[in-house]
Amino acid sequence: MAGLHQSAVALLLAIVANTAPWASGQLLRGRWDYPIDAGLTLPDGKRLLGSHKTWRGLISGELACILVAWLCGLPLALGAEFAALSLAADAGSSFLKRRLSLPPGAEMAGLDQLPEVLLPLCLLAAPLGLSVVDAVAVGVVFFGIDRAVHPLRRRLECAGSGQLIGGVPGAVLAEGMIGYLIWLLAAVCLLAVILGLIVFSLSSSS
């Protein structure tokens, strides 16, 4: 069984790989959002992956995981591999959702979280210092965290796009784009502080 420190680092990589593409999309909006599938439509009349899978998200996910690997004392290549596997699994989920006629951005609990966290955790379990059981446990924790913050993520998305939240324009509730950015920055900083404290306390006690 892995130590709590290894599990915490693996969880941090999973969260960053999942969050960085979303955060870059929220901050940059329509800038540099070139789709990975280049708009390719399959014979079923649906896109290969969809407009939400972009090179911007791929690059931001890779850079974020490399940064986390460096901060945690892991090989940079391990961070890059983790991000590549996670984003490849995420693309596979998008491919399946397009075949199910779900529009880009539509969420399906389980399919949107488990493949992209379990694939890198299981394949990279040894270099991360995890057993397969540890990897699955980290994936379950990640799933729980993702579902817990989903309402906040949805609220931030609505605030940035001007959609309605409870019948009121999201931009009004967030007091325009400035308020929206403050909400986003506060959420990201809070998550980073909590995870940083967890990793620090676990490394100190080990």
Please spell the DSSP secondary structure of 160-182, one letter per residue: HHT-EETTEEHHHHTTHHHHHHH
How high is the mean pLDDT in each 10-residue block of the chain (206 residues)? 78 90 78 82 85 87 92 92 93 86 75 87 93 89 82 64 46 47 56 58 54
| Distance from chain centroid for Cα 64 | 10
pLDDT at residue 77, as a whole number: 95
The model carries a pTM of 0.75
Is the Cβ–Cβ distance between 117 and 139 less than 8 Å?
Answer: yes
Please spell the DSSP secondary structure of 45-93, one letter per residue: SSBSS-TT-BHHHHHHHHHHHHHHHHHTT--HHHHHHHHHHHHHHHHHH
Helix/strand/coil for 135: helix
The DSSP bridge partners found for residue 6 are: none
pLDDT at residue 126, as a whole number: 92
Which residue, 21, 148, 32, is CA-closest to 89? 21
